[in-house]
Amino acid sequence: MVRLIVIERLVKSAVLVVVAISLVAADRLGYLAALAEEVHEQLNLSAGRGVIARLLMWAVTELGRVLPHVTVVALALLLYAALETTEGIGLAMRRRWAEYLTVVATGVLIPFELMEVVARPTAFRLGALLVNVAIVVYLAYRKRLFVDV
């Protein structure tokens, strides 16, 4: 089971890095507006209504005063990718701290994911929520992370 979590974290990290680089490249080439519209239509996103979307818009607004918006989003994606990579490598090396980090980092986002599923349920959102809950439950319970042994 831990191997699956490692693979999931590392694949997610790689995808986030590719998306961040693609985002900056598309912005520099002037394709960002068309790309954003296409992604919006394909994924049926409704920006601005979800908690995560509002948090991202706040971050873009506040930090965008200093940096261009695309750069802020790309940096956030790269930071999240670094966290995912750290979790994946730590779990692959069987480090106890990585198990704690994964449980805490994943568990913190579950309430936001749950609100998104309740507000606008999709199969993708529900699947992501279930995977993350399964990871937290498995690591916390089966690995006895928060129990004195």
Helices (H) and strands (E) in the chain, counts: 6, 0
Domain membership of residue 147 (yes or no) is: no
Per-residue confidence (pLDDT) for residue 2, from 0 to 100: 87
Q: How far is it, in rounded angstroms, from Cα 147 to Cα 149?
A: 6
Of the candidates 75, 66, 62, the residue with the CA atom closest to the CA atom of residue 27: 75
Please report which confidence band the pLDDT of residue 42 belongs to, taking 50, 70 and 90 as the band edges.
Answer: low
User: Number of folded domains in the chain?
Assistant: 1
Domain membership of residue 148 (yes or no) is: no
The answer to whether residue 148 scores a pLDDT higher than 90 is no
Domain membership of residue 146 (yes or no) is: no
Per-residue confidence (pLDDT) for residue 54, from 0 to 100: 61
- pTM over 0.75? The answer is no
- Report yes or no: 10 and 84 within 8 Å, Cβ to Cβ: yes
pLDDT above 70 as % of the chain: 72
Task: Give the tens place of pLDDT for each residue, 1-12.
Answer: 889 999 999 999
Domain membership of residue 149 (yes or no) is: no
- Report yes or no: 88 and 9 within 8 Å, Cβ to Cβ: yes
Domain membership of residue 145 (yes or no) is: no
Both structure tokens of 107: 């568990």
Task: Give the tens place of pLDDT for each residue, 26-35.
Answer: 777 777 666 6
- Give the domain range for residue 19: 2-140
Per-residue pLDDT averaged across 95-121, rounded? 91
The answer to whether residue 47 scores a pLDDT higher than 50 is no
